Structure 1
Amino acid sequence: MGNSVGMIELSSIAKGIETCDSMIKSADVELLRASTICPGKYMVIIGGDTGSVEAAMKVGEEVAAQFLVDKLLIANVSEQLMPAISSTSQVPTEGAIGVIEFYSVASAIVAADTAAKAAAINLIEVRTGFAIGGKGFVTMSGDVSAITEAIKAAEAASELMVHSVVIPRPLDKLYESLM
């Protein structure tokens, strides 16, 4: 995949599909995710080397024009981020659980990357806007102090946070519901 990730969020689904096509044709990037998100928006996530992602993002911003809602580019992304976004993380089901909720998908992605780099936690999932009113949230596991440290770092690096919690001793049923 490379070491960088870029995301563009648009207010038009049709323009989002056109933007996605232009982005992946413009540079040697991998399409990691392209989908509708609530409420009636479209999101494109690409990965690759930093130069290629930057070039594709520039094209995406130009094509999106007035339909651009949000964007991000993260160089040197945590290796835990993409499995958490694509719900393919294989994490231990022990320890505490941390949850951070945001009004913005981009904020949740930045928070997840920051959290994974800040402390010895395991990202469980980064939920990106679908069926949750366009919000984003991050779930993670680890010991209480690591989760607390990760959440503190993520809150400092992100915007539009709604709330965060640390659950010190979750039951196995809660872990099962998150996997």
Structure 2
Amino acid sequence: MKERAIGLIELSSVASGFQVADTMLKAGNVRLILSRSICSGKYMVLIGGDAAAVRSAVESGAAAANGCLIDQFVITNVHEDVIAALGRTHPGEPTGALGILESFNVATLLQAADAAAKAASVTLMEIRLAMALGGKAFVTMTGDVGSVQAAVAAGKKIIADAGVLVNAVVISRPHPDVYREVI
């Protein structure tokens, strides 16, 4: 099933995370993309599918969260790079500038990554979500300098407006050793 929409619920409880995942999957015809514990004792459930089914599943999951809901969202018409960059272990080759968005919140970072990919001609290289990051999340992207600057600005606005911005950086000509750390 090709995802046209994604939905995420972030919880403060691992036990509630399992219950919410089960509830979401039973609520509609959706596919489980990620369901796991994340740093700081939190849990996240990410699903994909038809927009209406994803909305219904997220609403049902949020209702089953038992007071443990941290955040939730649905992105319709999600940019294909967002799905591709999730958990990518071998990102594509860099093509120029390097952009990095970093957030204290997983849900907001995914929304920012989608906005960045839609704002300019960049390639999302990797999205890391709160594993061994103290609950933080980040996305790396590459493209020409102007495109990376525009994409980072679009993503940064979403993260800053939510009050969970850690940092946003554009490196116009990264040293090859820096890119070796990314890829």
TM bin (shorter chain)? over 0.9
Amino acid of the structure 2 residue aligned with 1:18: Q
Aligned to 1:60: 61
CA-CA distance at 1:90 after TM superposition: 4.7
Q: Distance in 2 between matches of 1:97 and 1:119?
A: 13
Report if aligned partners of 2:16, 2:66 keep a CA contact under 8 Å in 1: no
**Alpha carbons of structure 1 residues 89 and 60: separation in structure 2 relative to 1, 3 Å:** farther
Q: Distance in 1 between matches of 2:10 and 2:26?
A: 18
Amino acid of the structure 1 residue aligned with 2:153: K
Amino acid of the structure 2 residue aligned with 1:54: R
Matched, 1:170 2:174: yes
For structure 1, the residue ranges without an aligned partner over 5 or more in a row are: none
Report if aligned partners of 1:5, 1:73 keep a CA contact under 8 Å in 2: yes
Q: Distance in 2 between matches of 1:169 and 1:155?
A: 20
Aligned to 2:145: 144
Q: Distance in 2 between matches of 1:37 and 1:140?
A: 23
Can you list the C-alpha shifts for 1:99-141, whole angstroms capped at 9, x where unaligned? 1111111111011000000000010111111111111111101
Instruction: Tell me the TM-score normalized by structure 1.
Output: 0.95
CA-CA distance at 1:58 after TM superposition: 1.1
Instruction: Tell me the TM-score normalized by structure 2.
Output: 0.93
CA RMSD of aligned residues (A): 1.3
CA-CA distance at 1:33 after TM superposition: 0.4
Aligned to 2:99: 98
Can you list the C-alpha shifts for 1:49-95, whole angstroms capped at 9, x where unaligned? 00000111111001113011111110110010011113167523230
Alignment of 1:1-179 (within 5 A): 1-87=2-88, 90-158=91-159, 159=162, 160-179=164-183
**Alpha carbons of structure 1 residues 100 and 119: separation in structure 2 relative to 1, 3 Å:** same
Paired residue total: 179
Report if aligned partners of 1:13, 1:36 keep a CA contact under 8 Å in 2: yes
Report if aligned partners of 1:119, 1:146 keep a CA contact under 8 Å in 2: yes
Report if aligned partners of 2:91, 2:126 keep a CA contact under 8 Å in 1: no
- Higher deviation after alignment, 98-107 or 111-120: 98-107
Report if aligned partners of 2:86, 2:128 keep a CA contact under 8 Å in 1: yes
Can you list the C-alpha shifts for 1:21-45, whole angstroms capped at 9, x where unaligned? 1111111000000111110110000
- Identity fraction in percent: 41
Report if aligned partners of 1:32, 1:45 keep a CA contact under 8 Å in 2: yes
Q: Distance in 1 between matches of 2:10 and 2:151?
A: 25
